[in-house]
Amino acid sequence: MKLSFNVPDTGCERCAKSGGTCGFDVETEMTQCICSITSNSTRDCGVKGETYDRCSYFKHYKHCEARMLEESIKAVVEVKRYEQIPDILSSSEGSHHNRNPFSFLSTFPENKRVQIVDEILQSFTPIRPRSRPRIAYSSLLSYSLQSSNPLPLALAILQRTLRSGCLPVPQTHLLLSTAWLERRSKSHSVSSILLEMQDVGYTPDCGTCNYLISSLCKVDQIDEAVNVLKGMVCAGCIPDLDSYGSLIENLSELRMTSAIIETLNEMVVTYGLSPRKETLVKALAAIRANKDIRRAIEVIEFLTNEGVHVGFECYELVLESCLENRQFILAGKFVIEMTKRGFIPYIRARQKVVEGLANIGEWELANAVRQRFAELKS
């Protein structure tokens, strides 16, 4: 099945190229090109030099373009032509950096503001490509997170942003974490804050929670990220691989061995999830860095017994840790188990294991290892 679509020409791109700013005429309910303080045009601003650019006229006022953009968005909102917003913002990209184009929403009562934002989000659903409202999502989210009462509306906007396939700007991690921690400081539980999304017509989901967990990790709020992981279940959000993956990788960076093992155990036993290869490698590398060799081996044994596939890279990483710390007996026993899983160490590692065992007088184990390699013709 072949699907095709055409993006309607609103004239915004042509207007921008001619030096104007895309706006909206509330009387005709069409876009218009703002060329100067006294002159507007239907499509473009004509030959350069014929009219003065409005912001050039007000060159001493730094935020002129931003104000014009905000006025245009406000005009669209007043007549509920929300589908025009993405094109207006795209044609004026850069003008909203100094002032959020949705700042005028603060003049409305909170319930009216929530209603308008919801209507805007709903109007974006049929837009294709889905990434077209990217700037609008970003601006709405930024505005909401910096308002006096950011949650739960910001979580609803975040959810819509993620479902559209767009990623929020990096600054969102800090803004979201700050807003979240502020609410949590008032003794609100994780689930109660998430379930407040229902008050504005939305339902918390795993994707929103995962982004929140990632944001908290990025600002070193690991303990709170763990709280969100545990509390999201009570809000009807079952953790998935991304939930645990993000948390384990950040715990690994901090080399929190006990927390890593506890989290791996929970995801495997409680939710039946198998950690991704890259997640497991980072976890074992952190345990190795702490020289907790026996615990690294225990992790592999636990995962294997639970039916989780553990790849060659993980086995090799733990074997190297044994050799680095001259734990040759552990290395010998681990190698035998490793070969039973169909993995054969690199030749240099094999030589180090046998030589190390021989040097400490463990001839029996050294011969057993050598015999095992001979059986495998390696």
Residue 30: band (very low, low, confident or very high) from pLDDT cuts 50, 70, 90 = low
Helix/strand/coil for 327:
coil
Residue 16 has pLDDT above 80, yes or no: no
Cα separation, 200 vs 221, in Å, equals: 27
Residues 335, 349: Cα–Cα separation, whole Å: 10
The per-residue pLDDT for 58 is 44
Distance, CA of 108 to CA of 148 (rounded, Å): 13
- In the chain, DSSP finds a helix count (H) and a strand count (E) of 19, 3
Supply the pTM of this predicted model: 0.80
Contact status, residue 55 vs residue 20, Cβ threshold 8 Å: no
Tens digits of residue pLDDT in 105-148: 999 999 999 999 999 999 999 999 999 999 999 999 999 999 99
Q: Are 196 and 153 in contact (CB under 8 A)?
A: no
Dihedral in degrees, nearest 10, Cα atoms 214, 218, 222, 224:
-60
Comparing 8-12, 147-151, 271-275, 324-328, which segment has the lowest mean pLDDT?
8-12
Query: Range with the lowest mean pLDDT among 29-43, 162-176, 305-319?
Result: 29-43
Tokens of 112: 């009216």
User: Residue 4 pLDDT > 80, yes or no?
Assistant: no
Q: How far apart are CA 235 and CA 32, in angstroms?
A: 46
Whole-angstrom distance, CA of residue 89 vs CA of residue 31: 12
**pLDDT, tens digit, 9 for 90 and up, residues 198-223:** 999 999 999 999 999 999 999 999 99
Amino acid occupying residue 218: K
pLDDT digits 0-9 by tens, 63-85 = 578 888 999 999 999 999 999 99
- Find where tokens 């645990």 sit: 244
Pairing of strands 30-34, 40-41: antiparallel
Tell me the pLDDT band of 51, cut-offs 50, 70 and 90: very low
For position 371, what pLDDT does the model report? 94
What residues pair up with 41 in beta bridges, in sequence order?
33
Residue 38 has pLDDT above 60, yes or no: no
Give the sign of the dihedral formed by CA 65, CA 70, CA 71, CA 76: positive
Mean pLDDT, rounded, for 238-250: 96
